[in-house]
Amino acid sequence: MRLKLTLSYLGCAYAGWQIQADTPGTGTVQGELERALGSIAGHPVRVHGAGRTDSGVHAEGQVAHADVPDKPVDWRRALNAKLPRDIRVLSAEPVSGDFHARFDAVGKLYAYTLFSGSCPVSPRLEPFVWTTPPLDLASMAAAAGVLTGRHDFASFRNTGTPGSDTVREIWSIRHEAGLAGSFRCPENWPVSTWFFHGNGFLKQMVRNLMGVMVWAGLGRVAPDDVAACLAAKDRQAVPSPTAPARGLTLMRVEYPG
Amino acid sequence: MRLKLTLSYLGCAYAGWQIQADTPGTGTVQGELERALGSIAGHPVRVHGAGRTDSGVHAEGQVAHADVPDKPVDWRRALNAKLPRDIRVLSAEPVSGDFHARFDAVGKLYAYTLFSGSCPVSPRLEPFVWTTPPLDLASMAAAAGVLTGRHDFASFRNTGTPGSDTVREIWSIRHEAGLAGSFRCPENWPVSTWFFHGNGFLKQMVRNLMGVMVWAGLGRVAPDDVAACLAAKDRQAVPSPTAPARGLTLMRVEYPG
C-alpha cells in the first residue's frame, strides 16, 4: 500500500530533509521517518519526499510517499508516537501505487519571514526569522515584480549544483504582516512574511531570491540590477547573500486535481 | 556596577538554569550568561538568578544580577550578540549594589500550558505544552481553590530536596485560553494556560500542583483528595505525577516597589 504523508517539522535540529550516506537514520527528517516507518512495518521502508529542504528550513506541509504493508494500523497516530516531537505527521492517506511525491508535484508554496527592526526580544521567534534593519517595502515589491514570471533562475541557485534545466515559473510573490502558519505574534512587532508560489524552485532559490529582495529593501540594489542579475545566469553576478535557512518554511506542495 | 538582567529563554536545549559543577560554562542558562558576561568584562563574572528553573522549563521574565566593570557598554546589546539565540536579554539596568535577584524577590508568576485534546498537529507547539485528554475544568478549578492560600506544600515539592521551610502562599491560580506570553495560536485549538502567582515556590512545586490539578480534571482525584494530599505533607501521599517541564514558563519575578 502506498501512503501519501503530509508533514510538519522544525528544521533546527536536522541536517535537512535528505538522508546522509554517512549517518543514515539519524539527523535528517527523511532518516527519522524511515526509522519510524521501518519499526512499524517490520522491515526497511524507503521514503520519497517532494523536495529536499535544507538544514534549518521548516515545513508546514511537506509531502512524501512510502510503500508500507497492508496492516490495520492508524499510520498517522503510530508514526507520531514514534517520531521526535519536532516532526509531526498531519495526514497519512492511502494513494494509488503510481503516485510519486516528487515527480507528480506541480506547484510549491514557500514562506520567508523577516524581523525588520531592532534586536528581537523573544527567543521563541528566533528560529523562524531573519533579522534585518528596517526595509523599504516598495523597493522589495519592485524587485519581486522583476522576479515573478517564467525565467532562467541560474543566478539564484546555489553554486556547484549540477543540472541544466534552470527555468522555473514563479506565479506570485506576495507580502503579508506576521508569521507564516498558525501562530500569531503581536501586531506591533516588525514581523512580515513573503510567500513565493511557483511550479518549482532550484536548490536554495527561495533563499537567494529573498537575499536580493532584502538587498533591494536596503537600497543596495535597484530593480534594474535585479533584472541584470537574472539575465547574467551566473550566481557570481548577484551581489546579495543567501538568506539564512531559519526564515524559510515549505508551506504546501500541490498536485493535480 | 551591579546589573539587573531580565531574561527570556527556551529551556529545551539546557540542563536548567543552574551551572553544573562538572560542565561549567556550557549546557546551562547561567553558564551561557557567565561566559558572555566574562568575555565582555575581561574576567570571570558570577551570575545570581532569582530561581533555578529545571531543564526544559522556559522563561519570559527570569531575573538575575551580576557585578560588571564600569564600562561604556550597552550591556543588553553586547550580551545578546554573544548569547545563543534561545537566550535573550530583555533588559540590563544598573541597580543598587545591595540588590539581590534571589533574596529580594517577593513574588513569582509561573504559567503552565496544556493541550487538552487529540494529538497536537504543530511541532511549533510541542516544546511548550503538556498534551492531555480532555479535562473537566470545574474540577480543576475546585482543586485550584483548595491549593490557593498559605499552606505547607511539603507534599508538592520533589522528593529528596533538603530544607525545612515548606510553607508558601499562593495568591491565585487563574485559567486562560491560549498560550502563555506573546504568541497566539488558533482559537479552535484546545490550548489553555494556568497561571500560578505566589510569594515563592518549592522545587518542582508548580509542576506537582499542575499534576494533581490535571488528575482532578481527569476525575482521578476529588477536591477532598487534594486537601488530604496537602495535609499529608508527604510527596508519596500524592497519587498524581509531576507535570512535564516543557509546559512550564517563569513569566515574572516581582520585587518591592
Residue B9: its chain A contacts at CB < 8 A?
123
Best mutation site among A124, A130, A249 for testing chain B: the one with the most B CBs within 10 Å? A124
Count of beta carbons in the 10 Å neighbourhood of residue A133: 10
Rounded Cα gap, residues A30 and A41, in angstroms: 16
Whether the per-residue pLDDT at B101 is higher than 60: the answer is yes
Whether the per-residue pLDDT at B184 is higher than 70: the answer is yes
Contact B122 A186 (CB under 8 A): no
Q: How do residues A169-219 score in pLDDT, each as one tens digit?
A: 999 999 999 999 889 999 889 999 999 999 999 999 999 999 999 999 999
Burial class of residue B175 in the structure, from the number of CB atoms within 10 Å of its CB (0-12 exposed, 13-18 middle, 19+ buried)? middle
Give the pLDDT of residue B120.
Answer: 64
Indicate the pairing of strand A87-95 with strand A2-9: antiparallel
Rounded Cα gap, residues B165 and B181, in angstroms: 31
Q: How do residues A174-183 score in pLDDT, each as one tens digit?
A: 999 999 988 9
Rounded Cα gap, residues A130 and A117, in angstroms: 10
Question: Which member of B9, B77, B182 has the closest CB to residue A185?
Answer: B182
**Alpha-helical segments (H) within B148-222:** 205-217
Rounded Cα gap, residues A75 and A89, in angstroms: 9
Give the pLDDT of residue A159.
Answer: 76
- How many Å is the Cα radius of gyration of chain A? 19
pLDDT band, very low/low/confident/very high, at A118 (cuts 50, 70, 90): confident
pLDDT band, very low/low/confident/very high, at B138 (cuts 50, 70, 90): very high
Contact B9 A124 (CB under 8 A): no
Distances (CA, A) of A188 to A141, A177, A184, B61, B110: 21, 10, 11, 20, 25
Question: Which member of B122, B183, B186 has the closest CB to residue A124?
Answer: B183
Half-sphere CA count of B193, side-chain side, radius 13 A: 26
Whether the per-residue pLDDT at B21 is higher than 90: the answer is no
Contacts of residue B229, Cβ cutoff 8 Å, sequence gap at least 6: B155, B156, B212, B221, B237, B238, B239
Question: Which member of B87, B120, B123 has the closest CB to residue A9?
Answer: B123
Contact B122 A86 (CB under 8 A): no
Residue A80: its chain B contacts at CB < 8 A?
119
Whether the per-residue pLDDT at B25 is higher than 60: the answer is no
Residue B10: its chain A contacts at CB < 8 A?
123-124
For residue B204 the three cell numbers come to: 518542582
Of A51-65, B53-67, B108-122, the least confident: B108-122
Rounded Cα gap, residues A130 and A141, in angstroms: 18
Whether the per-residue pLDDT at A238 is higher than 90: the answer is yes
Average confidence (pLDDT) over B8-32? 84
* Number of residues assigned to chain A: 257
Contact A85 B186 (CB under 8 A): no
Contact B88 A126 (CB under 8 A): yes
Smallest CA–CA distance, residue B223 to chain A, in Å, is: 33
pLDDT band, very low/low/confident/very high, at B174 (cuts 50, 70, 90): very high
Of A97-106, B38-47, B152-161, the least confident: B152-161
Rounded Cα gap, residues A88 and B247, in angstroms: 18
pLDDT band, very low/low/confident/very high, at B137 (cuts 50, 70, 90): very high
pLDDT band, very low/low/confident/very high, at B69 (cuts 50, 70, 90): very high
Put simply, whether the predicted model's pTM sits higher than 0.80 gets the answer yes
Rounded Cα gap, residues A233 and A235, in angstroms: 7
pLDDT band, very low/low/confident/very high, at B247 (cuts 50, 70, 90): very high
Side chain identity at A197, as an amino acid letter? H
Half-sphere CA count of B164, side-chain side, radius 13 A: 0
Catalytic residues of B: 54
Question: Which member of B119, B182, B185 has the closest CB to residue A122?
Answer: B182
Smallest CA–CA distance, residue B94 to chain A, in Å, is: 19
More confident call, A3 vs B71: A3
Contact A123 B85 (CB under 8 A): yes
Whether the per-residue pLDDT at A224 is higher than 60: the answer is yes
Q: Could you give the ipTM of this predicted complex?
A: 0.81
Best mutation site among B124, B130, B184 for testing chain A: the one with the most A CBs within 10 Å? B124
Catalytic residues of A: 54
Contact predicate B253/B63, CB 8 Å:
yes
Residues of B with CB under 8 A from a CB of A: 8-10, 77, 80, 85-88, 90, 119-124, 126-127, 181-186, 189
Q: How do residues A133-150 score in pLDDT, each as one tens digit?
A: 999 999 999 999 999 999
Rounded Cα gap, residues A168 and A176, in angstroms: 23
Rounded to a whole number of angstroms, the distance between the first and last alpha carbons of chain B is 21
Contact predicate A75/A82, CB 8 Å:
no
Give the pLDDT of residue A21.
Answer: 72
Range from A42-51, B110-119, B121-130, B162-171 that averages highest in pLDDT? A42-51
Average confidence (pLDDT) over B190-205? 96
| Three-state secondary structure string covering A16-80 | CCCCCCCCCCCCCHHHHHHHHHHHHHCCCCCEEECCCCCCCCEEEEEEEEEECCCCCCCHHHHHH
For residue A125 the three cell numbers come to: 521567534
What are the DSSP calls for A216-232, one per residue?
HHTTSS-HHHHHHHHHH
